[in-house]
Chains A and B, each alone.
Chain A
Amino acid sequence: MNNLIRISVITIKDQMRQKSFYLLLAMAVVFILLIRGCYQGNYSVNGRQVESVSVAWHVSLLVFHFIAASMLLMASMLSMGMFSRDRDDGAMVIFLSRSVDRWQYVLGRIAGIWIFTTTIMFILHLAIFLIVLANTGGMITGYLTASLLCSFNLLFAIVLTCFLSLFLPNVMAAIFTLGIIGISFLSDGAYQAMQSELIRQMISGENHASFWRILFPKVYMFQHYASTLITNNAFDCMSPTYVWGNIVFYSGALFAALLWCFYRSEI
């Protein structure tokens, strides 16, 4: 087996040994059980019964965003101590004293966490998808594709946290990453809200996105773009190619910077 694949597999196995994994698993199960209840109730607005399919669809969209955003937090938490933990407990020496190149080690570790978090996110989305199918008999088209698309955001969060953890204490690296993601959510979320007809009518004048906002990592926009696969609404905030390219570019550039710094560091 190739070193890269082997390190990724080891990373996934190592993650599954952590106590935090079982805590996460328990939380996910509880979350799914609680959400399941939302699909089984009868809802009425102003005394009129609301169609259960409509409720299921809106809840599922909300849950889609909640899971995708929570996984960003989890991805940052899992990757924040990866290098320092490996350095402290001797795991890094196992790889790098053997015929493993540093880039294989870094890429293998990141790929492992990426696959791990993407799988968990996909399973959670799949559970929602199946609950809707079982309760309403309807399939939410694009739900699972949207979930897979959001994995690019996870990659960005993982690479950024790993990069920052080379210079900052682990917790600070995760907080910094979440800060950047938070700014992306706030700025692009506000921008998206301003594009709505209602707000446009309230605010007179043209509303242009400022330059820094265009260049800033498009985490929220990418997640919003993925959700348009579920809603089938047009994504008219920005070019989808730009949004996708922005996340891929930042992930690639950060990975290159991470490798550059890692190659210059002492083991």
Chain B
Amino acid sequence: MDGVSYTVSKGEFFALLGPNGAGKTTLVRMLLGFSRCTAGSITIDGLLAGRSESRKKVGYLAELHRIPPYLSGAEYLMRHAAFCGLSDSRAKKEVGEILERVGMNGSEKKKASQYSKGMTQRMGLGAALLGNPELLVLDEPVSGLDPTGIRDVRVILEEFKKRGKTIVLNSHLLSEVEKLCDTVAIMNKGRIEIKDSLSHIVHANETLEDVFFRYLEDKNS
């Protein structure tokens, strides 16, 4: 990261774009404290990012998300729920609702080793939604999902946004980003090169994809 400075407002749907190696995942990991900032700081709702107090407000879906193979989907979600501070009865109720929302009802008793990549991703999204977090940090949430899965995720995120929650999304799927996001930042070599609202970046008769590739071509030339 180099001189990255930005603010995401409450209720904003913020997308990070950029070529591979731009630093998007590193930036997302810094929000959780998985990677360390050598200088500067990140705050979430006034709390230093990476601290356990700030993580209470965050739901996180990692890139290449994995579930321990010996756990069933339900056990995995219950484990997450326990660390969200939910009581047993509340956790069971919320896990049931989440399973419904991510379309995994009926598969929750299967071991994670039997899940397809798409199912694992849905479970991961479900885990991120547990505990009703204020901020959802998603690193490639639709990776491995079929078109139905991608649409389902979009619906879930739209619902989440409607409830006034904040979303930071890191995705290569520009068409989905365009449908969902308010603000877009394009990163390259650890720096945020462009950050603006979608309406300012994408002009009439063009798509976010056009803007993104034009940006890359400009950089390369």
| A residues apposed to B, CB below 8 Å | 1, 3, 6, 10, 14, 17-18, 88-91, 93-101, 264, 266-267
Is B13 engaged at the interface, CB distance under 8 Å to the other chain? no
| Interface members, chain B 40-94 (any A CB < 8 Å) | 52-53, 55-56, 58, 60, 62, 65-70, 76, 79-80, 82-85
| Docked pose: A96 CA to B76 CA in angstroms | 14
Residue in contact with B80 in the complex, picked from A88, A89, A94, A267, CB distance below 8 Å: A94
Is B24 engaged at the interface, CB distance under 8 Å to the other chain? no
Smallest CB-CB separation from B64: which chain A residue?
A90
- Cβ contacts under 8 Å, B58 to chain A: 97
**Within the complex, what minimum Cβ distance (angstroms) separates B67 from chain A?**
6
The segment from B4-12, B28-36, B147-155, B190-198 that touches chain A is: B28-36
Smallest CB-CB separation from A97: which chain B residue?
B60
Known: A3-B83, A93-B62, A100-B83. 15 other contacts (CB 8 A): A17-B70, A89-B66, A89-B67, A89-B68, A90-B65, A91-B68, A94-B79, A96-B55, A97-B32, A97-B58, A98-B83, A98-B84, A99-B83, A101-B52, A266-B29
A95 engages B83 (CB within 8 Å) = yes
- Cβ contacts under 8 Å, B69 to chain A: 89
A14 engages B55 (CB within 8 Å) = no
**Within the complex, what minimum Cβ distance (angstroms) separates B63 from chain A?**
11
A17-B70, A94-B79 as given contacts; A99 in contact with B65, CB under 8 Å = no
Residue in contact with A266 in the complex, picked from B35, B52, B55, B67, CB distance below 8 Å: B35
B85 engages A10 (CB within 8 Å) = no
| Docked pose: A97 CA to B76 CA in angstroms | 14
**Within the complex, what minimum Cβ distance (angstroms) separates B78 from chain A?**
11
- Cβ contacts under 8 Å, A98 to chain B: 52, 55-56, 80, 83-84
Smallest CB-CB separation from A10: which chain B residue?
B79
Smallest CB-CB separation from A93: which chain B residue?
B62
A93-B62, A99-B56 as given contacts; A267 in contact with B79, CB under 8 Å = no
- Cβ contacts under 8 Å, B34 to chain A: 96, 266-267
Smallest CB-CB separation from A87: which chain B residue?
B66
- Cβ contacts under 8 Å, B66 to chain A: 88-90, 93
- Cβ contacts under 8 Å, B79 to chain A: 10, 94
- Cβ contacts under 8 Å, B62 to chain A: 90, 93, 97
Residue in contact with B67 in the complex, picked from A14, A90, A267, CB distance below 8 Å: A90
| B residues apposed to A, CB below 8 Å | 29, 32-36, 52-53, 55-56, 58, 60, 62, 65-70, 76, 79-80, 82-85, 127
- Cβ contacts under 8 Å, B53 to chain A: 99
A91-B68, A97-B58, A101-B52 as given contacts; A267 in contact with B29, CB under 8 Å = yes
- Cβ contacts under 8 Å, A90 to chain B: 62, 65-68
Q: Which of A1, A3, A96 has the most CB of B within 10 A?
A: A96
Interchain residue pairs with CB less than 8 A apart (19)? A6-B82, A6-B83, A89-B66, A89-B67, A89-B68, A90-B66, A90-B67, A91-B68, A96-B33, A96-B55, A97-B32, A98-B52, A98-B56, A99-B83, A99-B85, A100-B52, A266-B34, A266-B35, A267-B35
Smallest CB-CB separation from A263: which chain B residue?
B36
**Within the complex, what minimum Cβ distance (angstroms) separates A13 from chain B?**
10
**Within the complex, what minimum Cβ distance (angstroms) separates A147 from chain B?**
30
A94 engages B52 (CB within 8 Å) = no
- Cβ contacts under 8 Å, B32 to chain A: 96-97, 267
**Within the complex, what minimum Cβ distance (angstroms) separates A212 from chain B?**
37
- Cβ contacts under 8 Å, A88 to chain B: 66
Smallest CB-CB separation from A18: which chain B residue?
B70
Q: Which of B52, B65, B69 has the most CB of A within 10 A?
A: B52
| Docked pose: A25 CA to B92 CA in angstroms | 33
- Cβ contacts under 8 Å, A266 to chain B: 29, 34-36
- Cβ contacts under 8 Å, A99 to chain B: 52-53, 55-56, 83-85
Closest 7 CB pairs of A and B: A90-B66, A98-B83, A267-B34, A99-B52, A97-B60, A89-B68, A99-B56
**Within the complex, what minimum Cβ distance (angstroms) separates A223 from chain B?**
33
Smallest CB-CB separation from B70: which chain A residue?
A17
**Within the complex, what minimum Cβ distance (angstroms) separates B13 from chain A?**
20
| Docked pose: A3 CA to B79 CA in angstroms | 11
A97 engages B55 (CB within 8 Å) = yes
Q: Which of B32, B62, B66, B68 has the most CB of A within 10 A?
A: B68
